Structure 1
Amino acid sequence: MSAMAALGWRTLWTLCVCFTALRTNALSVTMSESTMEVVRGDYIILPCSFSTYSPLSRLNIIWTLAPFSSPESPLQVIVYDHGQIIEDPSLIGRVGFTDLPLGADIMINDTRVSDAGVYRCMVNNPPEAADPGIGELLLTVLVAPSLPACRWDGEMDAGGSVTLSCSVAEGIPTPEIRWDKLNPEEISLPINMEGELSGSVQIINVSAQTSGLYRCSASNLLGTENCYINLSIYSGSESSSGILQGVLLTLSMSLMLSALLVLVTWLHRTGRDGRWRVSKGEEEEEEGYNEIRYTPSLIKRSFV
């Protein structure tokens, strides 16, 4: 009898353990991916599957995001609770469940940089385990390099120094920046990084050989963008020749202006003298005419 009682208690204990284990392990959450990447502007499906032995009438699913920009302040992305769906106001129209109530996958479309971070999928289905099953997934939003901005600073005369700078506004992963001289032959130049998104090249003791076309490239796995600078270095002889040409041009202009001034003065005086002589001649003609006009009268009177 005691043996039968012992067997019964053992069976009961086994059933209790199995039932407890079943209750404890009934709900499980699985994330088929731990890290994912998406190009900005595209859509992506974040997978989250679960298994349960209870009816789904009280199923509760919560997706949260801890952004890379502020991981200490997680956001509630979307919630499914007793048949109702609640979306974060900033994500309305861009996020949604794909296969409720059998799965907890969500889709995010028109992805943005702010969508990157650590996502958590939490599933609870009472009366199963009080602690919800949780899965995590890290999402990275990729961004092609923006068009770099090229600039230069320094002296273009031989013997001086020139600094070529290049920067990009964005790019994920961080773009690799490099400088190359393209002509007369292509040469890769050592670059001094001034942060993740900018870099410069310093060229000292420049000469005529420094002249040419320079290119800055910003590259990541999504592509490459370029900007260019054309340097023209002036040697000392070229500078002296330019100064001499400037002096000769100034002298030539001065001589031309002087000659023009003399010509205008001469013409002005010549015009005045001509008018004076013409006036004098007219007076003489008028006097002569008067004399001739009155002479016959005087002769006539003499004969009478």
Structure 2
Amino acid sequence: MENSKTFVSALICLVWSAAAAIEVDIPKDQYEFARGDNITLPCTFKSVIPNPSQITITWFAGDVPILTHYHPSGDTDITFENRMSADVNINGGSGKADLKINSVTISDNNKYQCIVQVPRDKQGKISDTATLTVLVAPSKPICKIQGTASCGQNINLTCVSEEGSPPPTYKWNSYDVLNNPRAHEPRTTDKGGILSLYNITKETSGFYICVSQNKIHSASCNLTISVLPQSTNIGSTAGIIGGVITALILLIVILSCFCCRKKDEDKEDYAMAPQ
């Protein structure tokens, strides 16, 4: 019987302890806003202290404290930048401690933490976190060719958007010279905006369009590929080699003529010398 009373008392104390604790809450784990918006990250709290003499509210961006609000003085220390402010309304031991950010940018993408500290009420959940994502449409991507577009070569087609939040995904589409859509060759890889083409042939020629896309919008760029036959390269190389050889022969002839002329002049000088 005594053990039962002890157990019940312990249970009551446990329940009371759980109920008599501060609770801080941010309603959602993820918040998304468009770049340039004026936004609010909500945070509410409830304390078991009915009229606390002091409440300190701190917001963090990652590991960096960005704002601290003191109640009842109403003072707010902004340690990050002036685009941020606190929207606080306290009624007894509860209220809101929202964070307001004006003209959000990509640099505001972060995990934010709201911490509420009340003297003599340190049990329970004194903080909560949420992730902010500032949405930005992908900028027009830049398409480039890496390598030489000639038969038998391997080349990469690259596609990059300098802006985009969330980070955009990339997809390459291929069209033949008659502008008909076609599937990629079996060995072709399309990953992270890089389309890798192996052992290309004349049939590889055509049009290639890269689409950069995230949940906001999409943008594209394109390339035209004209694959040259290997004979063109061989002929060009042979022409260069032939030109070099011709120049060398011409140089040898000039030097030979110069040497012969020098010898003749030396002989004339010797013949004209007094005996």
The bucket for the TM-score relative to the shorter chain is 0.5 to 0.7
**Deviation at 1:171?**
2.9
**Deviation at 1:57?**
4.8
1:59-70 matched pairs, under 5 angstroms: 59-66=55-62
Measured in 2, the distance between the counterparts of 1:40 and 1:47 equals 19
Measured in 1, the distance between the counterparts of 2:69 and 2:46 equals 16
TM-score of the two chains, using structure 1 as the length reference: 0.59
Measured in 1, the distance between the counterparts of 2:168 and 2:196 equals 17
Q: Which has the larger radius of gyration?
A: 1
Query: What is the SS of the residue equivalent to 2:107?
Result: helix
**Deviation at 1:23?**
11
1:49 pairs with 2:74: no
1:174 pairs with 2:167: yes
Q: Per-residue CA shift, 1:129-174, capped at 9, x if unaligned?
A: 1457222222233332232211114444455554322223343333
Measured in 2, the distance between the counterparts of 1:23 and 1:158 equals 74
CA distance change for structure 1 residues 137 and 164 in 2, over 3 Å: closer, same or farther? Answer: closer
Output the amino acid matched with 1:77.
I
CA distance change for structure 1 residues 58 and 214 in 2, over 3 Å: closer, same or farther? Answer: same
Partner of residue 116, structure 2: 123
1:222-261 matched pairs, under 5 angstroms: 222-234=216-228
Output the amino acid matched with 2:43.
C
* Sequence identity (%): 27
Contact in 2 for aligned 1:157/1:206 (Cα 8 Å): yes
Partner of residue 204, structure 1: 199
RCO comparison, higher one (Cα < 8 Å, 6+): 2
Contact in 1 for aligned 2:40/2:101 (Cα 8 Å): yes
Q: Which has the larger helix fraction?
A: 1
From 66, 72, 75, the equivalent of 1:84 is: 75
From 125, 138, 145, the equivalent of 1:145 is: 138
CA distance change for structure 1 residues 158 and 63 in 2, over 3 Å: closer, same or farther? Answer: closer
Measured in 1, the distance between the counterparts of 2:143 and 2:18 equals 65
Measured in 2, the distance between the counterparts of 1:122 and 1:228 equals 50
Contact in 2 for aligned 1:61/1:122 (Cα 8 Å): yes
Q: Which has the larger strand fraction?
A: 2
Task: In structure 2, list runs of 5 or more residues that go unmatched.
Answer: 237-275
Task: In structure 1, list runs of 5 or more residues that go unmatched.
Answer: 1-9, 67-73, 244-304
Single out whichever of 21-30 and 55-64 deviates more from structure 2. 21-30
Contact in 2 for aligned 1:161/1:206 (Cα 8 Å): no
Output the amino acid matched with 1:91.
E
Measured in 2, the distance between the counterparts of 1:157 and 1:61 equals 65
Measured in 1, the distance between the counterparts of 2:133 and 2:26 equals 16
**Deviation at 1:76?**
0.8
Contact in 2 for aligned 1:147/1:168 (Cα 8 Å): yes
